[in-house]
Structure 1
């Protein structure tokens, strides 16, 4: 599908405002990149930062498309690789927990119900701004994605009378308390472990997902198995594998991760 010139022009305006005028969280972006890639020169870090702001701006420009795109165009915007991995477990009556990071375009999750032959639940953290929270809920639920908060998800999964489905967690959030720490992008990083505990409690297959940009405003979501025997995994092994795969994807294309996020609020080395 060819790129629409209007989103491209809108993306350039957003980029100009965020990067050139507002310098939106520029210090955090440079610091995060520098600490994550200590082997890179300042020039390389700055070029990656510019690429990130361009990518970030394009995500904003895609929001009107997400609000107006007809259902029949979803297959053009998003293609799935290895989707049968999820559908096979669903056919066996098992829930599937899908873990992904703030990489690529995680808002593509809203299109999954139109492409997968099973119920899809998106687990999100509510936004602090009420207007944007309502807007994002409207966009995310437009094609049938059922929204759950972090607090609601365990109750839904633990109620076994519900039909099996795919429960999608954006799992690179900062935990309220850093009880478990992994080495992630050369830094000790507190990570959430609730997704792993939930998978073990309900015997859910755990799948890693990554979303990569294709030509224009099109995306591909790929799935790979982390484990289908969560109870047999060592403590925090599922969490470790998820973060290792996410780190690998970030290192391949750094500009596509959310570098404005204050991921390392505290220096755990001190």
Structure 2
């Protein structure tokens, strides 16, 4: 498998995009990859959209998703210069004050656009070590290959090792990078919050890491400009000191994710099963919170 991935990554872009067209038909038209999940997500995200509008968003997402997959393959053998040329940083001056005083940063983003290229670009844009938190894949060979590709620009850190990495680098100028929009599994502690028109579960990681590191929290808005062309825009979500036990940073992150998706919905991974059913004990907590928001008695 890894040999095939590496061989495909050497193909020129026109050939890869032709391959993407075939993959799109096979995955979505023939196999029906997560068709019901995508349609359900669209109904939650855009309840007032017409059937024609939803159909267009779904079609554009499927086309983009296949193209992003082959672009990811290409990224494994692209040089730093090629990635810099294809991913533009819109507002580099935003982080300059923090860089000048060597303020550590927590960089948050979401699974939108070409996440692999964007991770490399973020790492290259910062003059400090970047630890990219990731969830290991089930296939150890593919996981090792992808990890090696990411290690060219930053240091991949498995989610379970994040605490150890924070302690190791607690006194140094560094950045931690995390794409935290996907859903935690049911046995993990989950933070439920309104996302578009419905409650959705999120990882507590952004809040916990910000409190532990006392780093400035930065959100990255990714944008696809055209085939193989992207941009990123920094947004400051919070500056230290961060008080313990709150959820403000996590809530700001969720709001930033929704704004980013609304700006360009077809490039968000809407095949992800984001909206899930709360467990019984979670529902008991959620219902009073919803009542408080409705009556204006919540915080």
Tell whether the structures are fold-level matches, with TM greater than 0.5: yes
Q: CA deviation at 1:261?
A: 0.9
Q: CA deviation at 1:4?
A: 3.5
Trace 1:98-109 onto structure 2 (pairs within 5 A).
98-108=107-117, 109=119
Asked which structure has the greater RCO (Cα within 8 Å, sep 6+), the reply is: 1
Q: Counterpart in 2 of 1:209? A: 220
Q: Counterpart in 1 of 2:155? A: 146
Q: CA deviation at 1:122?
A: 0.9
Q: CA deviation at 1:24?
A: 0.7
Q: Counterpart in 1 of 2:249? A: 238
Instruction: State the SS of the aligned residue for 1:207.
Output: strand
1:201 to 1:224, Cα distance in 2 relative to 1, 3 A: same
Q: Counterpart in 1 of 2:121? A: 111
Within the candidate set 203, 221, 233, 1:192 is matched to 203
Trace 1:156-235 onto structure 2 (pairs within 5 A).
156-160=165-169, 163-176=172-185, 177=188, 179-232=190-243, 235=246
Is the 2:24–2:63 contact (alpha carbons within 8 Å) kept by the matching residues of 1? Answer: yes
Q: Which moved more, 1:80-89 or 1:185-194?
A: 80-89
The reply to whether residue 252 of structure 1 matches residue 271 of structure 2 is no
Consecutive unaligned residues in structure 1, runs of 5 or more: none
Q: CA deviation at 1:195?
A: 1.8
Instruction: State the SS of the aligned residue for 2:227.
Output: coil
Is the 1:122–1:145 contact (alpha carbons within 8 Å) kept by the matching residues of 2? Answer: yes
In the alignment of these two chains, the number of paired residues is 267
Q: Counterpart in 2 of 1:67? A: 76
Q: CA deviation at 1:97?
A: 0.3
Larger radius of gyration: 2
CA RMSD after TM alignment: 2.3
Q: Counterpart in 2 of 1:39? A: 48
CA distance in 2, matches of 1:145, 1:229: 24
Q: Which moved more, 1:216-225 or 1:156-165?
A: 156-165
Q: Counterpart in 1 of 2:292? A: none
CA distance in 1, matches of 2:76, 2:183: 29
The reply to whether residue 53 of structure 1 matches residue 43 of structure 2 is no
CA distance in 2, matches of 1:251, 1:233: 31
Alpha-carbon displacement from aligned partner over 1:97-133 (angstroms, at most 9, x marks no partner): 0111111121120233333322222111111222331
Within the candidate set 138, 146, 152, 1:128 is matched to 138
Q: TM-score, normalised by structure 2?
A: 0.82
Is the 2:106–2:176 contact (alpha carbons within 8 Å) kept by the matching residues of 1? Answer: yes
Is the 1:85–1:223 contact (alpha carbons within 8 Å) kept by the matching residues of 2? Answer: yes
CA distance in 2, matches of 1:215, 1:43: 23
Spell out structure 1 runs of 4+ moving beyond 6 A. Answer: none
Is the 1:104–1:210 contact (alpha carbons within 8 Å) kept by the matching residues of 2? Answer: no
Q: Which moved more, 1:14-23 or 1:80-89?
A: 80-89
Is the 1:208–1:226 contact (alpha carbons within 8 Å) kept by the matching residues of 2? Answer: yes
Structure having the higher helix fraction is 2
Q: Which moved more, 1:79-88 or 1:148-157?
A: 79-88
Q: CA deviation at 1:232?
A: 4.7
Alpha-carbon displacement from aligned partner over 1:1-34 (angstroms, at most 9, x marks no partner): xx94223212211111111211111111111111
Is the 2:189–2:204 contact (alpha carbons within 8 Å) kept by the matching residues of 1? Answer: no
CA distance in 1, matches of 2:58, 2:170: 47
Q: Counterpart in 2 of 1:14? A: 23
